[in-house]
Amino acid sequence: MKKLLLFSVVLGGLAVMSSCKKDYTCDCTFTSVPELSIELNKYKKGDAEDACTSAETTYKIADSGASCTLK
């Protein structure tokens, strides 16, 4: 019984601590063109933040007023 309880606690802890993948949206605004939304499906939060920051950096090459936020 103790082994089963220990196994359950360890398994539950791993499930809670693991990063889950979710769907995010990176909304970008520009000074001269309409807003753009980029769907980021099944991303970890850190990876989604990196992708959105990367998109902003890329768009700033063409439009210095470009700004992207993760939602």
Domain count, the chain: 1
pLDDT in tens, 1-45: 544 333 344 444 444 445 689 999 999 999 988 999 999 999 999
Asked if residue 2 is part of any domain, the answer here is: no
The pLDDT value given to residue 16? 44
Domain enclosing residue 34, as ranges: 22-70
Mean predicted confidence (pLDDT) in 44-50: 97
**pLDDT of 57 over the 80 cut:** yes
pTM of the model: 0.71
Answer yes or no: is 43 within a domain.
yes
12 inside domain: no
Instruction: List the alpha helices (DSSP H) in the chain.
Output: 2-17, 45-62
Whether 41 maps to a domain, the answer reads yes
Report which DSSP code applies to 21. P
Average pLDDT over residues 41-54: 97
Residue 38's pLDDT is 97
